[in-house]
Amino acid sequence: MGTSTSNPGPFDRQPLLPSWALPPDVDSDMAPNNDDNDLLDNGGQQDSLPLQIPSVTWQGAKASMSRFASSGERSSLSRAARDYVGAKGGRRAAAQAASTGKSVALRVGGFLSTVARVGVRAALDEIGLGHMVGRGAQEVLAALIDALAPAGATLREAAARKAANDVLEKLYENYIADTGDIAGLERLDKQGVADAIEASIAGYIYNLWLEELGLSIEAKAISPSQAVALERDVRVYVKELVRLEIGEHDPVAIDWNSSAGHDIIDTVFQEAYGFLEVEQ
């Protein structure tokens, strides 16, 4: 896994957003099943190619993660990542099942690129929140989290909502907190938009990994320091993938609702799971 150091994520600080942004409780005791809506974003059609038969059971994946939680060794984390993706049927199956996370990443990219391009008022109006213009930042963020990642009862919906919440938390900290004005988001540049897209993808993959294996910091199944290291590794790699996939394109200029935007997100998800699938 990667060794680059970066900001350790949200685990070592109190969240800046209120409780409305927190994901609903979901039952993580059972192994995850495919949701009816978890198809690729291609008009509801599943990939016609046969998916790989899972090479690892969910029990095996949980056992590998437990070994990492006990030892804290990097080699154990790499094995845990490989077994997790194997239990999901491989990188392509894992990416195919991630339509909820993809949708959130596309919404984040679409909203923030519009903010950077034409301002908060137009961006809110575009997603049906024009009536929130002029409201306080906290009230706008409460409506925004529901628009970007609606609350749901599945593990995937919970993981996507928490990822979106973390993105908004960071945006609040960097662009809004000093003035309390949601218009502070208009200071976003193309790097800020790319960072937010990266964070939504990495956050979804990381959150779902812990949820699907029934891991909890509160239950001490994984320590805060291990969680930070795991999140950092996922984020570092996904950030690089986003940079490579966007290439010379300006993320502010990309139409994230177009096939080009979808292709970028699809590729990043598959490559990210591919990274986890290969034992480092």
Q: Does residue 148 belong to any structural domain of this protein?
A: yes
Report how many domains make up the chain: 1
How do residues 187-206 score in pLDDT, each as one tens digit? 999 999 999 999 999 999 98
Band (pLDDT 50/70/90 cuts) for residue 44 is very low
Nearest to 269 by CA among 63, 67, 40: 40
In a domain, 187, yes or no: yes
With tokens 């609702």, the residue in question is 257
Is pLDDT above 90 for 241? no
pLDDT at 243: 80
Position 19 in a domain: no
Alpha-carbon distance of 56 to 114, in angstroms, equals: 42
Greater pLDDT, 199 or 217: 199
Report yes or no on 78 lying in a domain.
Answer: no
116-140 residue pLDDT tens:
999 999 999 999 999 999 999 999 9
Residue 47 domain-assigned (yes or no): no
Model confidence pLDDT, tens digit, residues 168-181 = 999 999 999 999 99
* Three-class secondary structure of residue 72 per DSSP: coil
Q: How far is the first Cα of the chain from the last one, in angstroms, to the nearest whole number?
A: 5
Asked whether residue 215 is assigned to any structural domain, the reply reads yes
If you average pLDDT over every residue of the chain, what do you get? 80
The whole domain housing 217 covers 100-277
68 domain-assigned: no
| 117 located within any domain | yes
pLDDT at 242 over 90: no
Token pair of 98 as six digits: 């991630």
Residue 13 has pLDDT above 60, yes or no: no
Instruction: Name every residue whose Cβ is closer than 8 Å to that of residue 154 and which is 6 or more positions away in sequence.
Output: 26, 35, 100
pLDDT of residue 48 exceeding 50, the answer is no
